[in-house]
Amino acid sequence: MSTLTLQTTVPEDRNATADLPREVIATVVQWRGRIALFKRSQSVGHERGLWHCITGYLEPNVTPEQQALTELEEEAGLTREDLADFQRGEQLLIPDHKGNPWLVHTFTATTTRRRLTINDEHDAYRWSVPSKISRFSNRVPWLDTVIQAATPDAPRKQQK
């Protein structure tokens, strides 16, 4: 498992068991070699105005795969029929700013549709080639790690 510091605030009553990590899904949406970035709206409780992937809390008695598919439909308007591929990536254990652990189940959803239908959690979305995602300076701090975990075989920008 990889580790990264997550800098966000989360309601205290979410999965309040101190010994267990809070569980979330993070899904990277791909289309023709590009990745969709979603700009969080002012109507959400955290990470407003930051570029993000599709995320959601893992609900009780739901598998991570089921939750990821639910979030894809709610946040991007993508159904299973819109997906050419749906793959599970790595699991990440990420502490938040208070040191509380988060278990992040990552996925990659390859869509056949260029146009997405976003809900009120997002103000906009943009397609970007992976090597240019770093140009989005106002992205969530852990996005790069999630993209790498969800898409380990994707080409990376070469470091000099």
Average pLDDT along the chain, 160 residues, taken 10 residues at a time: 37 52 96 96 84 95 98 97 96 86 96 95 95 92 91 55
Main-chain dihedrals φ then ψ at residue 132, nearest 5 degrees: -110, 5
pTM of the predicted model as reported, rounded to 2 decimal places: 0.82
Distance CA 76, CA 64 (A): 17
Whole-number pLDDT of residue 98: 83
Is 28:76 a contact under the CB 8 Å cutoff?
Answer: no
Q: Looking up tokens 């189940």, which residue turns up?
A: 105
Distance CA 135, CA 144 (A): 12
Whole-number pLDDT of residue 71: 97
Q: Looking up tokens 């969800």, which residue turns up?
A: 150
The token duo for 34 is 């590009």
Q: Are strands 22-31 and 101-111 parallel, antiparallel or unpaired?
A: parallel
135 DSSP 8-state letter: G
Task: Give bridge partners of residue 105 from the DSSP assignment.
Answer: 25, 91
* Residues across the chain: 160
Element (H, E) at 30: strand 22-31
Q: What is the DSSP track for 79-111?
A: -GGGEEEEEEEEEEEEEBTTS-EEEEEEEEEEE
Report the alpha-carbon angle 42-45-51, nearest 5. 60
Whole-number pLDDT of residue 44: 82
Q: Looking up tokens 């000099």, which residue turns up?
A: 160
Distance CA 17, CA 15 (A): 6
